[in-house]
Structure 1
């Protein structure tokens, strides 16, 4: 077996969940977002842990993700964050306790045609993300249609576009617009039991957006939505739950002027000791990770040299490194640490992409 795996600390996820629960009033529920296989951590394992630690709802992106949880015996309420296609609505009903997001008349018709009277749905309103959702000026008509067709308007929600940049004034615009939508719904006789707006960033930054439920995803896994939140994470004690490791599989010395890897994107400027590590872009280690990226070996930071290949990468080391030495790509080793957010910054992306890109062929150990 290849000596490469991701170690998932479920106790850390439990502690992170408890920290978020402590930020909420007793009347506010925590919905744990476990889409994309629990942000690469394992949806089923994470779901069980967060539900035992204070979360009372789960959220996924697609029907098939909800089905996986149900097959594994998880019976708690599940919200599907995007509207299922009409031909998927029957499966949603059969899963039991799964609430679809709804934002079209076709969606209302499809769900009501296969669901029992009073089956709950959550209307999603587009307050500025402009991805999916009913427009604010159309939500009353859609809410009326939900009631007319005999299903229950249990929830209404929206999603922030810029919450990871809290100082952007557009956030306040979305908050105010959603508040106005709720007021107009109430005036039209619609008072959904569950109102949710806050993601991880908003849960930390704007208590007024907590309403009756918050949806926390990336924060449960101990990764900040952006560098803006790094200090807050430290203050609260939120910690990353994944530790990605491998081992040195081969060592050699290249001479000055020799190129390394495909395209010889890096050339040695002196005789250089290099180590091959059996993990590559097929495992979710981005090809461009080499440009400024590092690994930990023996508690020290070593630069990646040459582009990451499909199954391996190469790091510059010294004579102290031996075949079989542990290599850490995410997490801690002795007194050194490689954070998901640090890697994301090197790659010009976000922590979400790093975590959800970790490939299926990397075994998860819990």
Structure 2
């Protein structure tokens, strides 16, 4: 048994390497970008980036310039793309550090020199990216700026729904954007596929795929079985045991009342640590290889487990999600969200992070 902890996530880098190898193999001739934005989806950007590069990724993706520069400061020299910053961000820092920059508007080009650009076309997600009717203007401005147009790219809205017609429509718009670049004398690389499209649309792999959630072992296409291995597990320990009589109620609001005499185990994690309060009365944990229900409301710092009459020892490991307990996806499905939100919600410094593999 592991030593007792208050709140800890364990990041299994061997599992991450397995996932990256699987995805890079599925990418075929295309290169693989490991997306490590948001501190690698809560897994830790620097150790994850290093493990992903060891396993066959050749690029890294960071949302903000600060995230990208943190990789450089850690000594990582692989190509890095940064694509979303506020207008006052000094992009010169990125150019000086050899960071590729995502550009979605003419305004972002002003004063920018010596950069390697990835021009982003909005093909239908209607979020970041240049609208198609302004694409020719952006391409012309990028050429005139003297910066290198290294690639064009876009992002798919519904690739996790195989066969959805929007994917083909976005691919068509992306192809049209590419043809305009060729007509303007450019020969940019192309990247469109996210994790889901990497697994389901080999025709959209082009020169580079960007893998995010699948790299962390969470399947973006649950109807399609894949040998993806969850990288993060979340654990705590039993810090108090007590017995209660039938008719006694538990936690704020007394939303659960014992129908029989039972034992309770107190676990020192709550919604301040990333356990959604919406899981109150709707979750189980793993203790000693057995699943036990959580009773009453999840509190800020603690939750209460019904031990069902078993003699659960003080200090016993409690698996919130991971091997021996539910999964992050189980949590997400129960409360109507996505597992991305679960794994990025493990709140440091309250939740310690430990690496295996």
TM-score where L is the length of structure 2: 0.94
1:25-104 pair list within 5 angstroms: 25-26=28-29, 28-94=30-96, 96-104=97-105
Output the CA distance in 2 between the equivalents of 1:277 and 1:241: 23
Cα deviation, residue 87, structure 1: 3.3
Number of equivalent positions? 350
**Secondary structure of the corresponding residue to residue 97 of structure 1:** coil
Q: Superposed, which structure 2 residues align to 1:314-325 within 5 Å?
A: 314-317=304-307, 318-325=309-316
The whole-number CA distance in structure 2 between the counterparts of 1:303 and 1:280 is 15
Query: Which shifted more, 317-326 or 11-20?
Result: 317-326
Distance 1:147 1:180 in 2: 18
Q: Which has the higher helix share?
A: 1
- TM-aligned CA distance change 1:226 to 1:340, over 3 Å: farther
Partners of 2:122 and 2:27 in 1: CA distance = 25
TM-superposed deviation, 1:84: 4.9
Cα distance in 2 for residues equivalent to 1:167 and 1:305: 41
1:165 aligns with 2:153: no
1:149-187 CA-to-partner distances (Å, cap 9, x unmatched) read 111111111111111222322122112221222122222
* Partner residue in 2 for 1:11: 14
**TM-score normalised by length of structure 1:** 0.91
3-state SS of 1:195 partner? strand
Looking at structure 1, the residues matched to 85 and 186 of structure 2 have their Cα atoms a distance apart, in angstroms, of 20
Would you say 1:283 and 2:279 are equivalent positions? Answer: no
Give the Å deviation of 1:83: 4.8
Gaps of 5+ in 1: none
| 1:211-239 CA-partner distances (Å, limit 9, x unpaired) | 1000001111101125224x1x2xxx221
Match of 1:358 in 2: 346
Contact preservation (8 Å) 1:199, 1:216: yes
**Residue 209 of structure 1, aligned match among 181, 194, 204:** 204
RMSD, aligned α-carbons: 1.6
Instruction: Say if 2:338 is the partner of 1:342.
Output: no
Would you say 1:156 and 2:152 are equivalent positions? yes
Cα distance change, pair 83–64 in 1 and its aligned pair in 2 (3 A): closer
C-alpha distance in 2 between matches for 1:212 and 1:364 = 34
2:322 to 331, 338, 341: 331
Of 253-262 and 141-150, more deviation after overlay is shown by 253-262
Give the Cα–Cα distance (whole angstroms) in 2 for the partners of residues 256 and 177 of structure 1: 64
Counterpart of 1:143? 139
Partner deviation per Cα, 1:29-63 (whole Å, 9 max, x = no partner) = 10000011111111000001111111111001111
Aligned to 1:105: 106
Q: Alpha-carbon deviation of 1:268?
A: 2.1
Q: Distance in 1 between matches of 2:243 and 2:221?
A: 39
Q: What secondary structure is seen at the aligned counterpart in 2 of 1:310?
A: coil
2:228 corresponds, among 217, 233, 238, to 238
C-alpha change, 1:188 and 1:346, in structure 2 (3 Å) is same
Q: Deviations over 1:298-317 (max 9, x none)?
A: 21111111121111111111
Partner of 1:221: 216
Moved more, 348-357 or 246-255: 246-255
Query: Quick check: 2:6–2:269 contact (8 Å CA) kept in 1?
Result: no
Distance 1:43 1:143, change over 3 A: same
User: For 1:228-285, what per-residue CA distance to the aligned partner results, in whole angstroms no more than 9, with x for missing partners?
Assistant: 24x1x2xxx2211112111111112233333211222222222232211111111111
Distance 1:331 1:128 in 2: 36
The structure-2 alpha-carbon separation of the partners of 1:256 and 1:296, relative to structure 1 and needing over 3 Å to count, comes to same
2:152 counterpart SS class: strand
